[in-house]
């Protein structure tokens, strides 16, 4: 379901990723990609190992990305998803349009995937 990512791209963006590890194995991940000159960040690559789903790990990953984003002064997070829109809506994301994306993301949007665009405004807290 996720966009394929080359090893080179993953190595380049590795600092964007948060992972949950269990017994030395990565069982969950999520990434925060920042966009220069935009107050928007991208929540990407949210995935939990199939054997470990339903334990709120996905939720914890999203919360950790949100906290990281707040700490960097990012006001809103967007996510592109093909199959999981409902899950994100339940976690405060709302349907948005391509026009809401940073220009760089809009230009590289893969129309063949028909991903839905969802956005969440991050309320400021002191915990960031």
Ligand X SMILES: CC(C)(COP(=O)(O)OP(=O)(O)OC[C@H]1O[C@@H](n2cnc3c(N)ncnc32)[C@H](O)[C@@H]1OP(=O)(O)O)[C@@H](O)C(=O)NCCC(=O)NCCS
Half-sphere exposure of 73 (CA within 13 A, CB side): 5
State how far the Cα of 44 lies from the Cα of 128, in Å rounded to an integer.
Answer: 20
Measuring CA to CA, which residue among 106, 87, 90 is closest to residue 98? 106
Q: Which of residues 27-56 bind ligand X (CB under 6 A)?
A: 46-48, 53-56
Pick 59 or 100: Cβ nearer ligand X = 59
Q: Which residue is nearest to ligand X (CB)?
A: 58
Pick 31 or 74: Cβ nearer ligand X = 31
**Residues near ligand X, by CB under 6 A:** 1-2, 46-48, 53-59, 79, 81, 83-84, 86-87
């Amino acid at each position: 379901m996720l966009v394929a990512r080359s090893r080179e791209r993953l190595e380049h963006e590795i600092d964007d990723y948060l992972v949950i590890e269990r017994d030395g194995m990565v069982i969950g991940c999520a990434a925060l990609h920042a966009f220069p000159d935009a107050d928007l960040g991208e929540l990407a690559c949210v995935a939990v190992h199939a054997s470990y789903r339903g334990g709120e790990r996905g939720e914890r990953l999203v919360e950790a990305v949100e906290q990281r984003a707040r700490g960097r002064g990012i006001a809103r997070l967007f996510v592109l998803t093909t199959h999981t829109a409902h899950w994100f809506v339940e976690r405060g994301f709302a349907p948005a349009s391509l026009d809401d994306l940073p220009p760089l993301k809009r230009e590289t949007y893969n129309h063949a995937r028909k991903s839905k665009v969802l956005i969440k405004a991050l309320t400021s807290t002191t915990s960031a």
